[in-house]
Structure formats: C-alpha cells, structure tokens
Amino acid sequence: MNFDSKEIENLVKSVLDNMNGRPVPSSTFKPMGSSFNGTIPNKAHVAYLTAIEKFEVKEVDMPTVGDDDILVKVEGCGICGTDAHEFRKDPFGLIPVVLGHEGTGEIVKMGKNVKKDSAGKDLKLGDKVVTCMIFKDNPDITMYDLNKQNVGGADVYGLLPDNDPSNHCKGWFSDYILIKGGSTVFNVSDLDLESRILIEPCAVLIHAVERAKSTGILRFNSRVVVQGVGPIGLICVAVLRTMGIENICAVDGNAKRLEFSKKMGATKQVNFTEHKGIEALAGAVKDAFDGHLADFAFQCTGAPGGHSNIYKFIRNGGGLCELGFFINGGDATINPHFDICSKEITTVGSWVYTLRDYATTFDFLKRSQAIGIPMKELITHKFPLDQINEAMGVNIRQEGFKIAIVNK
C-alpha cells in the first residue's frame, strides 16, 4: 500500500491531534487506502428515473447526517432485473425515483450514535458497507431472530419514493447515499468491490436454497435442474455447487449463458431451442441425468411458460422452488392432477431474503472463491453513472450477465 507525502502528513497530523485531545473533523477525514479525497462536497449526483426509459443525472443538496445516520460514498451498484422493469414500465409507480439496491460504498460520515452494524460488528469511517432492509413494521428485528420475515415486510434503498425534499440520496445509483437510522447495514470491508456488488443478488439465492432445503428433498447427491441461467440462475448454480451438489443441469436458450454455467458448476446443459415441444425437452433433461428426471428443480426465468414446463422435468416425489417472479409476470397454466397431485411434487416459493440469509452470503462469496468458482466474472460490463441509460440498454438486450455502475 503506497501513500503520498500529503497522505502521510495528514495521517501524522490526525494522530497528533488525537494525542492532544483534539478530534479529527469527519468532513476532512481520509482513511488509509481510501478512494475518498477527504472532503465531502455540498452537492451529490443522483441518477433520477424521470420518465419511462429515461435517466437524468441531477445535482442535489447533500443531505444532513443525523445522529443515527451514515453517509456513504457510493463505489458501485449492480443493475437488477427489478431496475430494468421499473426503467421500462414503472410497475411500482415510483417515477421520479433514484433506483439501485445492489450497491456498496465507503463510510465518510457517521452520526454520534452509530457504533456497530446490524451483526454487531464495529463501524468506523472508511469501512465498506452494504445495506439490506429498512423494517418499517418492526424496527427492532435483528439477524438473529428466528422469525421468517423477509424483505416483503420492509423497504429497500433504491425502491423508495422521492418524497423528502431534504434527502434525495435514497438509491445506490448515485455518488452518495444517506443510510438512515433504523436501517440494516453490514460492514463488509473484507470483501472486494465486485464481491460486494454481488451480495444482494447472491442473498436471493441463499434464501431460495434454504427454502428448498426446508422440503427435505434437496440433498448432497440430488439431481438438480436450474431453469433460466441469467444472473440469478447462474448464481443459483454456484450456490448449489458450493454446497457440494455436483449433479446440476442448466436449462436455457442462450448458448453463451449455458457455456458460462459450466464455470459456475453446472455439469450438464440443455438448450431448449434445440428441442421441439415440452416432451422432447423433458426427454433431453432425462437423458442428461442418464435416464432419470430431476430430484429437485429451481425455476428462475420469470416467464409463465417456464413455470408451466418445469414440472415435466421433476420425478415423482421431487421438489420445486419457484423464485423467478419478482413482479407480476402473468398467469401460468398447469394441470394440477398431472403436474402436482399424481406426482406428489413438493413446491415452495421464494421471495428475496431475510437478514440472516444476507449475512450468510458473505461466507458463501468467500467459500465459492476458495473452491475456484469465478463469481466476479459475472460482472461483464461496468459503466460510470453518467452512462446509466447505455448500461440499462446493455442489460435489457442481455448482452452480458451482470451489468454494474461503478463510480471513479
């Protein structure tokens, strides 16, 4: 780690000030190894979604940091499918809004009451953090509670209405974000930027696999189908492989995604464009498993037709986790007699994550890296904030896997 003479001078000055009882002003503090220049500007820049398919980067007043708040200099944020849906159709009715919920950055100012993160880990200036949920109904919930409450009962930064004229820094598509008191925040300084950007989507799959395990069907030696290997499906494969499950079949119509699924841990690939009709496709899955149907399946497409088809891939007594529908994608047609009842298939739904899942994700990212799964290669494109419209276009056209906004 290299420091210039000015950095050394500032560091020595801060040590002497502390020795003499003089506090170091947080507005001019620069931690060692930080990309922060030490001065908090009066203005922040946020990418407002002002109309359908139109982001505008605007300058706003820097919000005031209260005694329980944290000001974070944003380093990067992934683009989620939810962001793309809001960009194209505004299904949540939030426009104008600052999106971005897969973000991370560096603490540059803290209120006097902020001491620890949501897991009890110390927080200080310069720490790298991510946010999880804002529990509006139960602010005292912690990651150690045994209840099942997930993000469905909470708010999320990047999906908040812009209804406070004193604070427009509510989403991670910005250069600064204000984390209000009562929010969940985690110190993830031991992870690199790319890993931190992947925490939120990985937590979705940690939760889904925990839901699948609750059926008692998903086991170490299970034959598993993952249908739809976009970013969510690819992460699903990686989580399963990190758990030790090796017999994984990826199903998709995109040859590039299927090829990359091998790096994530899928041992078999089926391209549905090469098979005419569901019976032929189910036969291809069965052939991939040496004449057996899957013990368990994860449906990650978000397409009603995908849900209708998935039952045909699963053996009698098998299990299914449906996690692809984060918005209303329409109705799916199944035959309850043939698809569920006569096959006695156990089905669970999965909806984002809980606090404990979020914390578990940190260990998953470390473990997956240790066994050689190239998680960071999921981020195929990086754009600066002022090119967010171009970044969203790349995401919608599926020209890469995970697209990220990364600030300089």
Using one digit for the tens of pLDDT, what is the confidence trace for 251-304? 999 999 999 999 999 999 999 999 999 999 999 999 999 999 999 999 999 889
> Would you state the pLDDT for residue 142?
54
**pLDDT reading at 40 higher than 80:** yes
* Mean pLDDT, rounded, for 380-407: 96
Strands 102-110 and 248-252: unpaired
Whether residue 154 contacts residue 147, with contact meaning beta carbons closer than 8 Å, is answered with no
- Distance (Å, whole) CA 239 – CA 237: 6
Cβ count near 112 (within 10 Å): 9
- Distance (Å, whole) CA 283 – CA 303: 21
**pLDDT reading at 14 higher than 60:** no
Sign of the torsion formed by the C-alpha atoms of 79, 81, 83 and 84: positive
Q: Give the distance, in angstroms, between the CA of residue 344 and the centroid of all CA atoms in the same chain.
A: 33
- Distance (Å, whole) CA 247 – CA 265: 9
> Would you state the pLDDT for residue 359?
85
**pLDDT reading at 35 higher than 50:** yes
- Percent of the chain past pLDDT 70, that is, above it, reads 87
> Would you state the pLDDT for residue 298?
98
For the stretch 296-344, pLDDT in tens is 999 999 889 999 999 999 999 999 999 988 778 889 999 999 999 999 9
Q: How far is residue 317 from each of residues 125, 324, 332, 344, 399, measured CA to CA in Å?
A: 53, 22, 22, 5, 38
- Distance (Å, whole) CA 387 – CA 56: 10
Average model confidence (pLDDT) for the chain?
88
Nearest alpha carbon to residue 248 among 223, 230, 231: 223
Nearest alpha carbon to residue 190 among 405, 355, 369, 4: 369
pLDDT band (50, 70, 90) for residue 22: very low
> Would you state the pLDDT for residue 234?
98
Q: Give the distance, in angstroms, between the CA of residue 70 and the centroid of all CA atoms in the same chain.
A: 21
> Would you state the pLDDT for residue 12?
43
Which residue is it, tokens 């399946």? 297
**pLDDT reading at 399 higher than 80:** yes
- Percent of the chain past pLDDT 90, that is, above it, reads 76
> Would you state the pLDDT for residue 152?
54
SS3 82: helix
> Would you state the pLDDT for residue 30?
52
Q: How far is residue 112 from each of residues 28, 125, 135, 273, 369, measured CA to CA in Å?
A: 16, 12, 22, 58, 36
Beta bridge partners of 183: 134
> Would you state the pLDDT for residue 54?
96
Domains within the chain, CATH numbers bracketed: 11-190+376-406 (3.90.180.10), 202-349 (3.40.50.720)
* Mean pLDDT, rounded, for 383-395: 97
For the stretch 146-186, pLDDT in tens is 445 555 567 899 999 999 999 999 999 999 999 999 888 99
Beta bridge partners of 404: 78, 382
> Would you state the pLDDT for residue 19?
37
- Structure tokens that stand for 37 in this block: 């220049």
Dmax over Cα atoms in the chain, in whole Å? Answer: 78
